[in-house]
Amino acid sequence: MEQSSKGKFDSNFGFLMASLGSAVGLGNLWSFPYKMGLGGGFAFLLLYVLLLVIVGYPLVLSEIAIGRKSQKAAIEAYYEIHPAFKFNGVLQTAVPFFLIAFYCTFGGYIMKYLVYSIMAFGGKEIDPGAFFEESLLSNGGSAMIWMIIFLALTVVIVLGGVSGGIEKFCKIAMPALFVMLVVIVIRSCTLPGSGEGLSFLFKPHANEAGFFETIKLAGGQMFFSLSLASGCLIAYGSYLDKKENLERDAVFITVGDTCAAILAGMAIMPACTAYGIEPGAGPGLLFISMQTVFNNLAGGKFFGFLFWLLVFFAALSSSIGLMEGGISAILDSRIKAGKSVNRFAVTLIMGVWALAGNTLTTLDCLGAAPTVAWFHLLGQPDVLDVWDAVAEGILMPLTGLIMAILIGWVVPHYIDDEVEKGSNFKSRGFFDFCIKWLGPIFMALIVYGQVTSFWG
């Protein structure tokens, strides 16, 4: 059976939008702005950019090149590079299974806010704190329904196939997301009192956490935000045409994701400080702080709707990326076994898993409901953190490190011929140095940092 029977992107633009879609998600919206603010403002940004250049770019380039060279998703791609490293592909393919187990729960919350932001035009206003608490956290039934709708949407788009579903959706959603984000940034940064939020974000200040702590914080964020070591970029790379310029594409994905994160900070933080709202991080930042802003803002109904729509696009395109990373790997093993490529059946299997995982996460109500407390494993306070600790805390940084060792030391120059198909690999010297030396050193630090942040 032909590998290409899994599907192909119709264009490089489609590949870029799908990859960016997987990258830009909750990590950009609710973690980055807060980490940047707390982590030292502009100083954090500089460090983050440094990590992007020496770890992020080489890993993105490696993943899309590995995918395109092997024409396979993570498990079989690693097997092809070196049979002894197949386990790394298996571990990376496990990542989306863990992440999707909470992603759709938040996707569901976001959909509910989006629908209510539309109803607000008809005069129905919500009290953000009470709404979040009563209609989602203490109402597992309602949250379940929204989660299922979000998951179903993810499944429907993925079932549409690589070019017919994923590419089509991301080609519209991602440009729209950026336009909406810029509109909200302009609104937010022109509010009286917004300066404080901007200086929280950008003003360099001493960071109590110290240099190494900050590297760990920034590094963990980078892995999650760029969708690294999750099988997603390898799968997307395998659907890309051989003539495309991988160096340029890797730069685009790395820079695009970071721009989205910075813009998200500029949309969120100034608006919060303008209304004297403590920004914080995580779910509360979006579902309570930002909704409070929109309730007070002139034109808040319109901006609230735009905001929830962009958050919805960000979450959905990431959820699609997660699902495809898993599906593509399973389809490969069927192809290898000489079986037919049945995207429908495999998508359903992944969908059922996502439903089971998210049912636990949703009913847990962010740790508030005693019913699923038995699943607060690994010393974590809630179900969300159980999934996240395994994926973000261990698997992503560790398998990223193993990949760098593989490409830097075990089979050096493995991706060279693939990159050279679309460019003259100008960054080769730099890439080699980073993947061999700087990357592993920093990644070892990131592994240590992630483990201590979940179990410290």
| Minimum separation from the CB atom of position 193 to ligand PHE (A) | 29
| Dihedral in degrees, nearest 10, Cα atoms 276, 282, 288, 293 | 50
Helix segments in 39-167, DSSP class H: 42-51, 57-70, 74-81, 86-119, 128-130, 140-159
User: Residue 61 corresponds to which amino acid?
Assistant: L
| Minimum separation from the CB atom of position 115 to ligand PHE (A) | 21
| Minimum separation from the CB atom of position 325 to ligand PHE (A) | 6
H and E: helices and strands count for the chain: 23, 0
| Minimum separation from the CB atom of position 321 to ligand PHE (A) | 4
User: Residue 123 corresponds to which amino acid?
Assistant: G
Question: Which residue's CB is nearer to ligand PHE, number 62 or number 194?
Answer: 62
The answer to whether 239 and 8 are in contact (CB under 8 A) is: yes
Give me the count of residues in the chain: 456
Largest distance between two CA atoms of the chain: 64
User: Residue 64 corresponds to which amino acid?
Assistant: I
Question: Which residue's CB is nearer to ligand PHE, number 318 or number 328?
Answer: 318
| Minimum separation from the CB atom of position 363 to ligand PHE (A) | 22
The answer to whether 446 and 397 are in contact (CB under 8 A) is: yes
Question: Which residue's CB is nearer to ligand PHE, number 256 or number 321?
Answer: 321
| Minimum separation from the CB atom of position 23 to ligand PHE (A) | 5
Question: Which residue's CB is nearer to ligand PHE, number 98 or number 131?
Answer: 98
Residue 408 DSSP class: I
Question: Which residue's CB is nearer to ligand PHE, number 126 or number 158?
Answer: 158
Question: Which residue's CB is nearer to ligand PHE, number 244 or number 324?
Answer: 324
The C-alpha atoms of residue 3 and residue 23 are separated, in whole angstroms, by: 25
Residue 276 DSSP class: T
The C-alpha atoms of residue 261 and residue 346 are separated, in whole angstroms, by: 33
| Minimum separation from the CB atom of position 123 to ligand PHE (A) | 33
Helix segments in 337-407, DSSP class H: 343-364, 383-388, 396-405
| Minimum separation from the CB atom of position 341 to ligand PHE (A) | 22
Question: Which residue's CB is nearer to ligand PHE, number 126 or number 253?
Answer: 253
The C-alpha atoms of residue 185 and residue 312 are separated, in whole angstroms, by: 17
Shortest Cβ contact with ligand PHE: which residue? 25
The answer to whether 319 and 331 are in contact (CB under 8 A) is: no
Binding site for ligand PHE (CB under 6 A): 22-23, 25-28, 96, 99, 224-225, 227, 230, 232, 318, 321-322
Question: Which residue's CB is nearer to ligand PHE, number 70 or number 225?
Answer: 225
